[in-house]
């Protein structure tokens, strides 16, 4: 009975992918084309991160979903590229394509009210967990806030699988901007 939350969580994940997959495919095409066209990128102040200038798409409609207010469309804002991610200054189109179409796909969707979320710890519910209180370093858990879910399984000392909105990692209330992710990742808090 305690695992009944897995059914609506699975339904939400599947519905999310029905929206996300067409957006990702469109992004591959749009980022490829607009990344190659001269004058379609512009440096501007990020409205979400104070004192950060990012490389953004000039067309507002393109920046709305396929931009990235945190790292820019090329991933180089703030000098916080993930470890091992190449900086291809010698070929900007490939840097933009790799970051915006391959790694972040639909980077700014987390700022929309439909696909992003704000975390309110008072509304977060633990559906199931291998340990209580929820341990972010070991085992597995499924948490939810409203209709949004997060499943995470730490299957070794250094690896984990993340699926859903980053609800449990926030450590407190957050404004709109928590996004959905599906990734095998290094085990972190």
Report the C-alpha gap between 161 and 182 in whole angstroms. 8
Closest Cα partner for 28 from 92, 89, 99, 108?
99
pLDDT digits (tens, 9 = 90+) for 37-62: 999 999 999 998 888 899 999 999 99
- What are the distances in angstroms from CA 83 to CA 80, 86, 87, 92, 164? 9, 9, 11, 19, 23
User: 126 near 136, Cβ under 8 Å?
Assistant: no
User: Which pLDDT belongs to residue 118?
Assistant: 92
Residues 122-170 pLDDT 10s: 999 888 888 888 776 678 888 899 989 999 888 887 888 888 898 887 7
Count of CA atoms in the C-beta half-sphere (13 A) of 42 = 11
pLDDT tens digits, one per residue of 67-109: 999 889 988 876 655 566 666 666 788 889 988 888 888 888 8
* Bond prior to 116 in cis (omega within 30° of 0): no
DSSP summary character for residue 101? I
């Amino acid at each position: 009975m305690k695992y009944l939350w897995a059914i609506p969580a699975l339904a939400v994940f599947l519905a999310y992918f029905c929206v996300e997959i067409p957006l990702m495919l469109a992004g591959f095409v749009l980022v490829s084309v607009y990344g190659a066209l001269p004058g379609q990128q512009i440096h501007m102040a990020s409205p979400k991160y104070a004192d950060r200038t990012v490389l953004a798409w000039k067309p507002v409609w393109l920046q709305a979903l396929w931009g990235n207010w945190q790292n820019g469309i090329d991933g180089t804002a703030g000098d916080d590229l993930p470890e091992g991610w190449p900086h291809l200054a010698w070929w900007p189109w490939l840097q933009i394509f790799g970051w915006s179409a391959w790694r972040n796909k639909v980077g700014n969707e987390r700022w929309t009210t439909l696909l992003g979320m704000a975390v309110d710890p008072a509304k977060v519910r633990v559906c199931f967990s291998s340990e209580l209180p929820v341990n972010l370093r070991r085992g597995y858990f499924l948490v939810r806030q409203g209709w949004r879910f997060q499943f995470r399984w730490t299957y070794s000392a250094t690896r984990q699988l993340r699926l859903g909105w980053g609800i449990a990692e926030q450590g407190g209330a957050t404004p709109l901007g928590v996004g959905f992710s599906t990734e095998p990742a290094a085990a972190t808090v």
